[in-house]
Amino acid sequence: MKQPKIYKLFIGSIIILALSVLSSLAFGARLVSFQEIMNALFTGDNSSFHALVVRERIPRTVFSIIAGASLGVSGALMQAITRNPIADPSILGVNTGASLFVVSGIAFFHIQTSSQYIWFALIGAGVTAVFVYGIGSLGSGGATPIKLALAGAATSAALASLVSAVILPRTDVMNAYRFWQVGSVSGATWEGIITVLPFLIVGMVIGMLSTSALNALALGDDVATGLGVKTGLIRILSALAGVLLCGATTALAGPIGFVGLMIPHTMRLICGPNMKYIVPMSAVGGAVLLTISDIIGRLIGNPGELEAGIVTAFFGAPILIIIAMRAKVRTL
């Protein structure tokens, strides 16, 4: 794709993102007008009720942008490394792995702060990712989509039983987990955002830097090696970035599925196979998707709200089905 066009696209999506941010501040159980949002943001007015409502909505909006961007990039990276169209944290069971570690942490090690959550979630996500990919790539043909999906689904099911076994005797953990496991951006606080931010930045930077090597990897391992790319190293680094991004997001928001699946695919359709464009565009696209999902959840669930994870699963699962239907049977 030509340079000017991709810039137009990028600017266009940034504008869409800005619009969705404004809507995220405006919509909810109580509708706040544009004028009042501006007042609340740019004047130090603490007195009016609307200003307080908008303040309350700022952290979750910021977090939905960050989380969406991370999940989008994470999905793009995982799909590129595995050269597999259905690689996504939720399908590979990585989210459930993170859940199990966090739940065990709460139950056995009495962790409480979000920074401790993150470490447990990251380790859980990493271990599960390696494990599922390892099992999925055994045998002839390497990690085919169907083998990976089955390994992920089965591992997820097994881990979910373990999670239940851990939480069942502990009602307090059960209650916290029940809301965490759906995946929601509503619980975001500034403190939590600041804790996950370093992890996400590191993941993003590695992701962006590895794009040209990933482009080479798309040509096949032999060609990539011929072009001077250390395929093993780049796989490990990008996988690390992918796990950092989705693990840290999961720690704060709970498992939000399918953002990492839908967004890179859509971006590949829009701006072609060049990873240099796909990765940044996936970040913007993921942010837009999650913010909008959160808004939809708030509007549908009014006066309560529908967790963003449920909304994304509803949009995302049909996309997976479409991918499966369009893919050639041979490659499945």
Q: Which of 97, 247, 257, 260 binds other proteins (CB under 8 A)?
A: 257
Greatest extent of the chain over all pairs of C-alpha atoms, in Å? 67
> Interaction with other proteins in 312-331: which residues (CB under 8 A)?
313-314, 316-318, 320-321, 323-325, 327, 329
Residues 6 or more apart whose Cβ sits within 8 Å of residue 143 = 82, 84, 133, 136, 137
And the tokens for 186? 């509503």
Q: How far is CA 196 from the centre of its chain?
A: 13
Q: For residues 294 and 123, what is the distance between their CA atoms, to the nearest angstrom?
A: 27
Under the binding rule (CB under 8 A), the answer on residue 100 touching other proteins is: no
Q: Is 139 in the site for other proteins (CB under 8 A)?
A: yes
End-to-end CA distance of the chain: 29
Helix (H) or strand (E) holding 302: none
Cα 59 to the chain's mean position, in Å?
A: 17
Residue 145 binds other proteins, judged by CB under 8 A: yes
Per CB under 8 A, the list member of 48, 113, 164, 189 interacting with other proteins is 164
168: part of which helix (H) or strand (E)?
A: none
Stretch that binds other proteins, among 27-35, 54-62, 142-150, 269-277 (CB under 8 A): 142-150
Q: Return d(Cα 142, Cα 255) in angstroms, integer.
A: 27
161 binds other proteins (CB under 8 A): yes
Supply the minimum distance, in Å, between the C-beta of residue 96 and other proteins.
11
Annotate each residue in 178-207 with x if it binds other proteins (CB under 8 A) or - if it does not, as one string.
xx-xx-------------------------
Per CB under 8 A, does 252 bind other proteins?
Answer: no
By beta-carbon proximity to other proteins, the closer residue of 59 and 255 is 255
Which residue, 119 or 315, is less far from other proteins as judged by CB?
315
Q: Which of 62, 111, 150, 201 binds other proteins (CB under 8 A)?
A: 150
Task: Compute the least distance from the CB of residue 165 to other proteins, in Å.
Answer: 5
- Cβ 174 to other proteins shortest distance, Å: 6
Stretch of 21-29, 103-111, 121-129, 166-174 contacting other proteins, by CB under 8 A? 166-174
Binding status of residue 158 toward other proteins by CB under 8 A: yes
**Amino acid letter, 266:** T
User: Under a CB-based contact definition with an 8 Å cutoff, are residues 315 and 258 in contact?
Assistant: yes
Q: Is 58 in the site for other proteins (CB under 8 A)?
A: no
For position 78 contacting other proteins by CB under 8 A, the verdict is no
Distance CA 198, CA 116 (A): 14
What gap in Å lies between CA 224 and CA 54, rounded to an integer?
50
Alpha carbon 307 to its chain's center: 14
CA distance 92 to 131: 10
In angstroms, what CA-CA distances link 55 with 199, 231, 317? 25, 46, 33
14 near other proteins (CB under 8 A): no
* Nearest-approach distance from CB 48 to other proteins, in angstroms: 32
The reply to whether 5 sits near other proteins by the rule CB under 8 A is no
Shortest gap between Cβ of 288 and other proteins (angstroms)? 20
Is 171 a binder of other proteins (CB under 8 A)? yes
What does the radius of gyration of the chain's CA atoms come to, in whole angstroms?
20
Which residue's entry shows tokens 């960050």?
66
Residues binding other proteins (CB under 8 A): 86, 90-91, 135-141, 144-147, 149-151, 153-155, 157-162, 164-165, 168-169, 171, 174, 178-179, 181-182, 257-258, 304, 306-307, 309-310, 313-314, 316-318, 320-321, 323-325, 327, 329, 332
